[in-house]
Amino acid sequence: MSSSPPPRARAAAKVLPADAPTTRGLTSVITGVVIVCALYFGRDVLIPIILAVLLSFLVAPFVGLLRRLHFGQVPSVIVAVFATLGVIVSIGVLIGLQVVQLSGDLPHYQRAVERKIQNLERHTVGRANAILNKASNDLKRISPAPTHDADGRSRLASSGDGRVQVEVHEPPPSPIGLAQQLLSLVIGPVETTGIVLVVAIFILLQREDLRDRLIRLLGSRDLHRTTTAMDEAARRLSRYFLAQLSINIGVGLVISIGLMVIGVPGAILFGVLTALLRFVPYIGTWIAALVAVVFAAAVGPSWSMLIWTMVLFGATDLIAGQIVEPLAYGRSTGLSPFAVIVAAIFWSWIWGPIGLVLSTPLTLCLVILGRHVERLEFLDVLFGDRPALTPAENFYQRLLVNDPDELLAQAESLLKARSLSTYYDEVALAGLRLAYNDLLRGVVTAEQIRRITESAHDIVEGLEETADLLKRPTKNETPPASTGLSEEDEDVRHSPPPNHFDAKQEGHTTAVLCIAGRGELDALAGMIAVQLLRKHGLIADLAPYARFSRTNFTDIDLDGVPIICIVSFDATESPSYLRNLQRRLRLRAPQAEQIVGITDPQNLLDPDGFLRETTSATSFKQVVDLCVAAARRQTGDSVAWEGLTNGREAAPALAPALTAPGPVIGGNLQNA
């Protein structure tokens, strides 16, 4: 056999120049700055409106329930809003009663605090003072005596400077002044609450009209996209608020009951405080826990009350955060943990404590908006919980950096809910298509091609023992990694694997000769095809294009080979070398059925490019299905091609492959 021809010379990588800056980017930056400034300087007007909108999302399910009970629209809204107001007032009264009760027992708690402080000082500061005093006395014994002046007084002594201390006392406030101070503290929250309730009532009364006006304002040209975005925002916000409110109430009840059992005074107050502060992401629970722990340490006769309080808050937050919240929120809230932290910092800077509470729902609205508005897509990429790269893009990126370990971990996760052939089609084939497009552009270097080849070999070899079966995840298994598909396309991952060829049941064996094209990625596609064919009961081997070139073709005998599969990413374009290869194969093996893949689904095979008897495949699953169908049309045992030099002299060596398929990389591929 003659030596393989040298590899083709590759043009230097040419990366397209970056787009020149345009006025669109500058306009976007200016618009963003203006929006941030408007949010900051208009917070006194925007905060009540935003609170009213979010309150309407929270009350809307209750309004819908009342309307299903045949209440009118106006009575339903009034009853729901005033019921919400009653709950808010009740919580305020409960907090006030608890504060009054604790203030009445404050002298008792003060004495307990003083005793503990004295004990702490005696065991910490007192011991430190004793050590310092001892050290000071030791220094005085060894230091020289101080010198005295003519009057016999120490130079260190200082005489008075004759200054007189003056203290300024303000007169006690009058009753009118006390009333004004009290009103100044109360009138602000009462005014904001009134504005929020009035705006929420009008939003609930004119909900459909406001929705239509927003559609007209934001996207009347694309009603489907705008309606989908608004429905998704309303659904996610309502679900988030209801789930969060239910969880917070449950956590508050558990904390109140637990503190009562421990014996901490004001247990109801700390439970309500915990329920309210849990709206602050991540740190809200621990702020309430810090207050409760400090109070328990102050009033408890020993340190046991403090320890049990810490255990109560830690266990409750762990169960609520790791078990209850994932069950209540479903798959996720739609935000990444990074987004929650950044949003909390940004909105607290813009709007203060209220912004900290509203940070999660506001950012969730922005992420939903970014999913449906092209110019705001960066918001979904930065703050959304969906993967930034699809599995195919991640596959290609990991190939470029030669990281097969992460790819194998991704494959194991994805294979929990899909068959091996589906994984190869959705992830590996799609990723190799991306690499093929970059090869056509001339931006892939020789070093990157080497990395891609090495990593892909490791992936195929690592999946050698994986059966091509559809495994649905059980309830106790972790969910598979995200496919990056839309919700309506998620059923693709459950597509059944190809048919299996049973040699005993069919009564004969069938061999498939896979011939890779001469492209850099064709051998990788051929390896995957051979692996899948062997897993489905066929004898398969892979040969490089060089073995079937015009100069080497005369040394090859294809008598008895029933199925020939040409695997190449160039199949769609049907280049001349593939057409000539197919004609030579047809002349030498007219009895063999020919299958050509992998063609592009978006650009099907040109019927005039190959022989009319050719069958094309767009995926690995179709390759296997077509080969299995062709094998069932055979009537007798066929001869495998692996290792043949002249005729069939090496055919007996393949007999063990009927029961135990060999490695994917055959001898011919290694010789290539």
pLDDT value of position 527: 92
Other CB atoms within 10 Å distance of the CB of residue 207: 16
Q: Are 1 and 546 in contact (CB under 8 A)?
A: no
How high is the pLDDT of residue 338? 79
- Rg of the chain, C-alpha, whole Å: 38
Pairing of strands 539-543, 563-567: unpaired
- Give pLDDT, residue 533: 92
Predicted confidence at residue 133, as pLDDT, reads: 67
Site of tokens 């309730």: 197
* Residue 479 pLDDT: 44
Q: How many CA atoms lie within 13 A of 417 on its CB side?
A: 19
Residue 480 contacts residue 413 (beta carbons within 8 Å): yes
Structure token pair of residue 669: 């591929």
Q: What pLDDT score does 610 carry?
A: 54
DSSP structure class, residue 514: E
DSSP 276-294: HHTTSTTTHHHHHHHHHHH
Rounded to whole angstroms, the Cα distance separating 446 from 614 reads 34
What does each C-alpha distance from 422 to 299, 528, 539 come to in angstroms? 64, 12, 21
Q: What pLDDT is attached to residue 4?
A: 42
* Cis before 30? omega within 30: no
Q: How many CB atoms lie within 10 A of CB 462?
A: 15
Beta bridge partners of 593: 563
Q: Is 387 left (phi over 0), alpha (psi -120 to 50) or beta?
A: beta
> What DSSP element (H or E) covers 230?
helix 223-262
Measured in residues, the chain has a length of: 672
Q: Among residues 553, 531, 539, which one has the least CA distance to residue 657?
A: 539
Is 409 in contact with 401 (CB distance < 8 Å)? no
* DSSP secondary structure code for residue 243 in this structure: H
Buried b (16+ CB within 10 A) or exposed e, 30-42: eeeeeeeeebeee
Q: Is the dihedral of CA 461, 462, 464, 465 positive or negative?
A: positive
Q: CA torsion angle for 476, 477, 482, 485 (degrees, to 10)? A: -70
Q: How many CB atoms lie within 10 A of CB 26?
A: 10
The token duo for 402 is: 């030669």
- The predicted-structure confidence for 331-348, as pLDDT tens digits, reads as follows 556 777 778 888 888 888
Report pLDDT for 530: 92
Contact 622, 605 (CB under 8 A): no
CA dist., res. 59 & res. 78, Å (int): 11
Spatial distance between the Cα atoms of 515 and 526, rounded to a whole number of angstroms:
7
β partners of residue 567: 516, 597
Match 């040409």 to its residue by tokens. Answer: 566
Q: Please list the ranges in the chain whose pLDDT falls under 70.
A: 1-22, 24-25, 104-114, 116-186, 218-222, 300-301, 328-333, 471-495, 602-613, 641-672
Residue 351 and residue 43 in contact, taking contact as beta carbons nearer than 8 Å: yes
Cβ atoms of 596 and 566 closer than 8 Å: yes
pLDDT tens-place string over residues 108-136: 666 666 676 666 666 666 566 666 666 66
> Which residues, in sequence order, are bridge partners of residue 273?
none
Distance of CA 526 to the CA centre of its chain: 34
Provide CB contacts within 8 A for 416, sequence distance 6+: 471, 473, 477, 478, 479, 480
Question: How would you label 50-67 residue by residue, b for 16+ Cβ within 10 Å and e otherwise?
Answer: bbbbbbbbbbbebbeebe
- Long-range CB pairs of 109-115, under 8 A, 24+ apart, other chains included: 109/265, 109/298, 109/299, 112/298, 112/299, 112/300, 112/301, 113/298, 113/299
d(CA 265, CA 68): 44
In whole angstroms, give the CA distance from residue 571 to residue 353: 62
Query: Of 436, 536, 427, which Cα lies nearest the Cα of 492?
Result: 427
Q: What is the greatest pairwise CA distance in the chain?
A: 132
- Check residue 261 and report its DSSP letter: H
- What is the per-residue pLDDT for 105? 66
27 — phi, psi (to 5°)? -65, -40
Backbone angles phi, psi at 168, to 5 degrees: -110, 125
Q: Is residue 550 within 8 Å of residue 489, measured between CB atoms?
A: no
Average pLDDT over the chain, rounded to whole?
A: 75
Residues facing residue 512 across a β-bridge: 540, 563
* Residue 240: count of CB within 10 angstroms of its CB: 20
Distance CA(144)–CA(165), nearest Å, equals 36
At 333 the pLDDT is 62
3-state secondary structure at position 563: strand
